[in-house]
Structure 1
Amino acid sequence: MTPLNFCLPDTVTPEQFLTEYWQKKPLLIKQGLPQLKDMFEPQDILGLSLDEAATSRLITQNKTETGEQWQLQQSPLTEEMFADLPEQWTVLVQNLEQWSPELGQLWNAFNFIPQWQRDDIMVSYAPKGGSVGKHYDEYDVFLAQGFGYRRWQLGKYCNERTEFIENQPIRIFDDMGEIIFDEVLEPGDVLYVPPKLSHYGVAQDDCLTFSFGFRRPNLMQVLDSLVDAATSEPSLFTPLLLDQPLQAPGKLNQHSISQIKQQLLELLQSHQGEELVAEAVSEVVSKRQYELLVPEDSLDAEELQQALSEGAIIRTDYSSRLIYTELDDQLMVYANGQPLADISDCEAELLKRLADADSLTYEDFLAAKLSTETVMSWLENSWVWLDF
């Protein structure tokens, strides 16, 4: 596979994008992902949306005497649901990288953003006039056109006070404020939309739009994971020592609460706290959002070794989450929400290279003296895929 250029205009460096645009303002990237052109056709996505293992949605828009009424049907979708559709409708399929490792490799065009922030690749199919309404997202998204044409409008920034249309199954609104962007994207074009910026896309013909989403964990996820990580620390189960002023017997006073808070803060700011928070965050951001597909067929160890010896390459499978941390010069690798504590140093180094978007050859495994059985376990866990 030819190394990918960054999905940025020639006039914008990664440093400029992160400083001037990231989570601040939109950016049109003409021909940012030309590899998407005709990679899929509408029938591919419509067929996939009917697969029982797919996470898909069918959104329809009906005109009534009182306005528009939207309907939402979620997977599993059936052929009957596509009978007698209104003129305007859309099909969405999530986590497309689990169905196409080749598509997943396009994540590498966004390697100027840490890969632990990646959410998934969603595809939207719509015939002419199809849309999912005026809305905003809580996360960053690169809207990449793969087939056909879609008109995009961008408006105001929204917040928790933004009013949505009542009695609709999806979060949409009427007022986008002043339109700051209004263009039609062609195959290969990409539009970056920061969080909370209102946007509205309408298919100009049969079209496929691929959404590369980036999301950070929320504090509740981190706190929940932190509690799980802390349960393995016996010292944290020791009752606290507190100063005790004279007071009414039924009162929990602010002094005691402040002492407990201070000891909690001291723990978080200690080296032990650094390790616990690193473990908690690593487990959260490396968790998969969707169930992992079980490969229908796989190579045996002998076939794998032959394929590698004949030039096949091991690449990261972006349907999984592979990340690493380096705390006190200690390398820790995480895969799909779990720390890989029992792997060898040489295995950890190779997985680190994969997490950094490198690929591995037969010579790499020979140099590291890593067995074919170990590589087989990577494939079986869907951490990697074999690129012939």
Structure 2
Amino acid sequence: MAYQLNLNWPEFLEKYWQKQPVVLKHAFVDFVDPITPDELAGLAMEPEVDSRIVSHVNGQWQAWNGPFEQFDNLGETNWSLLAQAVNHWHAPAAELVKPFQVLPQWRFDDLMISFSVPGGGVGPHIDQYDVFIIQGMGSRRWRVGDKLPMRQFCPHPALLHVDPFTPIIDEDLEPGDILYIPPGFPHDGFTHETAMNYSIGFRGPNGRDLISSFADYALENDLGGEHYSDPDLTCREHTGRVEAYELERLRGMMISMINDPEHFEKWFGSFITTPRHELDIAPEADDYTAQEIVDALKEGQVLTRLSGLRVLRVGDRFFINSECLETVDAQAADALCRYTVIGQQELGSALDNPAFAGELTALVNQGYWYFDE
């Protein structure tokens, strides 16, 4: 089904985005869960799906990673089942992501879904990303604290918690309500009655990840091979000291690699379109010919992008699943980045270009786009 989000986006971005948490009451009217608990449990049995169970019994926190074989031994209280990137594997659940596509695609992470029984939760913690928590069936109480320095500790090797906090939000969510939490705000959810929650996360990379990834790119592309040089060297009294101008020259050598716009765009496009979770790519995609695809699109059929596939334009380059797309039609490639469903209207005259038709055919046969029958 198509979900209609009752939200004034400009007002929300100005007042709340990355500034303060907020409960958006009745954001989805007459909300219908896109997945059942049994379906979620079935996904958690698949090795390709990242899943875990968290329990809190007799004051002890426990956590297990999937895939799981059965759930009969968990009891009726005090545990939660969580599955990451469900939008990659379950088409109806992926529909929940669409109302949030007004935000930059490169910031979107995934749709995490949790099923929790009474007393279930993962404990008080801090996330370093923006998250919209949609309440489905059941009821959960959410407490959110202010963004203050807090001690973090591990009650279990797989869990990172924070100390108790004074809430600035303390509210029960009902189906269709949304709790938005910016990075750094402590929060804790407690289930009153068996509940489903849908967390739509937007993640920004940290500096460590950026530097590490660019270093790998520099090595792979043999960048920065020039050695430090100092033809202006003079005699000095203190030979055991590195001078400030030498540090600046060294820093400049490093920065010059990042400042190269061509390499920076190539690296970032590959980095940001690399998926963090497995994709549901068919092991043997249909072997279409270019003419078959062109004819189908001209007859009114449309191609749907594989859910979770990262397709982005960076500068004048186009990237799909960490690879740069060499294209003969930038306008059509831009449409591939802009729309998740494409047809003759979006691709226009590019369908009459055999070279672009060949590019599109290769993408379809890789399983990146498909005809939704």
Please give the range of the TM-score, normalised by the shorter of the 2 chains: 0.7 to 0.9
- Does 2:136 match 1:146? yes
Distance 1:355 1:91, change over 3 A: same
The verdict on how the C-alpha distance between 1:75 and 1:252 changes in structure 2, with shifts beyond 3 A counting, is: farther
Q: Which residue of 1 aligns with 2:243?
A: 254
The one-letter amino acid paired with 1:133 is: G
How many pairs align?
366
Corresponding residue for 2:73?
Answer: 83
Aligned in 2, Cα 1:276/1:374: closer, same or farther, shift over 3 Å?
closer
**2:151 aligns to what SS in structure 1?**
coil
2:180 aligned with 1:192, yes or no? yes
Per-residue deviation, residues 247-290 of structure 1 (Å, max 9, x unmatched): 47973622422322234445544xxx233223332222211001
For the structure 1 residues 99 and 274, does the alpha-carbon distance in structure 2 shift closer, same or farther, using more than 3 Å as the test?
same
In the alignment, structure 1 residue 319 sits paired with structure 2 residue 308: yes
Q: Any unmatched runs of 5+ in structure 1?
A: none
Contact 2:286–2:365, Cα closer than 8 Å, also in 1: no
Q: Give the 3-state SS of the residue equivalent to 1:131 in structure 2.
A: coil
- Structure 2 vs 1, CA of residues 214 and 309 (structure 1 numbering), >3 Å: closer, same or farther? same
Partners of 2:305 and 2:125 lie apart in 1 by 33
Distance 2:137 2:124 in 1: 21
Give the C-alpha shift of residue 215 in structure 1: 0.5
1:284 aligns with 2:274: no
Q: How many angstroms apart in 2 are the aligned matches of 1:89 and 1:304? A: 48
Instruction: Report the 3-state secondary structure (helix = DSSP H, G, I; strand = E; otherwise coil) of the residue aligned with 1:197.
Output: coil
Give me the whole-angstrom Cα distance separating, in 2, the residues matched to 1:380 and 1:204.
Answer: 47
Counterpart code for 2:234:
P
The aligned residue for residue 343 of structure 1 is 327
Decide whether aligned partners of structure 1 residues 364 and 15 sit closer, same or farther in structure 2, where only a CA change above 3 A counts: closer
CA distance in 2, matches of 1:267, 1:168: 39
Q: Deviations over 1:31-59 (max 9, x none)?
A: 33458613111111112111222211011
Aligned 8 A contact 1:8 1:29 in 2: no
**Displacement, 1:71?**
0.9
Deviation at residue 183 of structure 1 after TM alignment: 2.2
The answer for the alignment partner of 1:122 in structure 2 is 112
**Does the 8 Å contact 1:333/1:352 carry over to 2?**
yes
Q: 3-state DSSP class of the match of 1:246?
A: coil
- Deviation, structure 1 residue 364: 4.8
Question: How far 1:165 moved relative to its partner?
Answer: 5.6
Give the 3-state SS of the residue equivalent to 1:201 in structure 2.
strand
**Conserved 8 A contact 2:114-2:196:** yes
Say if 2:32 is the partner of 1:37. yes
Tell me by how many angstroms 1:236 deviates.
3.3
140-149 or 289-298, larger mean C-alpha shift: 289-298
Q: Which runs of 5 or more residues in structure 2 are unaligned? A: none
| Cα 1:349/1:146, change in 2 over 3 Å | farther
Decide whether the 8 Å contact of 1:145 with 1:189 is kept in 2: yes
TM-score using structure 1 length: 0.83
CA distance in 2, matches of 1:263, 1:108: 43
Query: 2:339 aligned to 357, 360, 364, which one?
Result: 357
Distance 1:312 1:235, change over 3 A: closer
Output the CA distance in 2 between the equivalents of 1:43 and 1:232. 45
Superposition CA RMSD, Å: 3.0
Q: In 2, distance between residues paired with 1:383 and 1:35?
A: 33
Write the mapping of 1:160-309 to structure 2, written as runs, cut at 5 A.
161-164=150-153, 166-167=155-156, 169-177=158-166, 179-231=167-219, 236-242=224-230, 243-247=232-236, 251=240, 253-255=242-244, 256-266=246-256, 268-269=258-259, 273-295=260-282, 298-301=285-288, 308=297
**1:70 equivalenced with 2:61 (yes/no):** yes
Per the alignment, in what secondary structure is the counterpart of residue 203 of structure 1?
Answer: strand
- Cα deviations across residues 50-81 of structure 1 (Å, max 9, x unaligned)? 12222110111111xxxx101111022121x5
User: How far 1:124 moved relative to its partner?
Assistant: 0.3
Q: Which moved more, 1:196-205 or 1:235-244?
A: 235-244
Q: 1:39 to 1:307 in 2, by over 3 A?
A: farther
TM-score (norm 2): 0.86
Q: 1:171 and 1:185 mapped to 2: Cα distance? A: 24
Residues 87 and 94, structure 2, Cα contact 8 Å, conserved in 1:
yes
Cα 1:148–1:297, aligned 2, differ >3 Å: closer, same or farther? farther
Give the letter for the 2:170 counterpart.
Answer: D
SS in 2 for 1:113: coil
Q: Report Cα offsets for 1:129-152 as digits up to 9, x if no partner.
A: 211112121111000123222221
Contact 1:58 1:90 in 2 (8 A): yes
Query: Is the Cα contact below 8 Å between 1:57 and 1:74 reproduced in 2?
Result: yes
Match of 1:379 in 2: 364
1:134 matches 2:118: no
Structure 1 Cα separation of the partners of residues 257 and 157 of structure 2: 46
Q: What secondary structure, in the 3-state scheme, does the structure 1 residue paired with 2:111 have? A: strand
Paired amino acid for 1:134: P
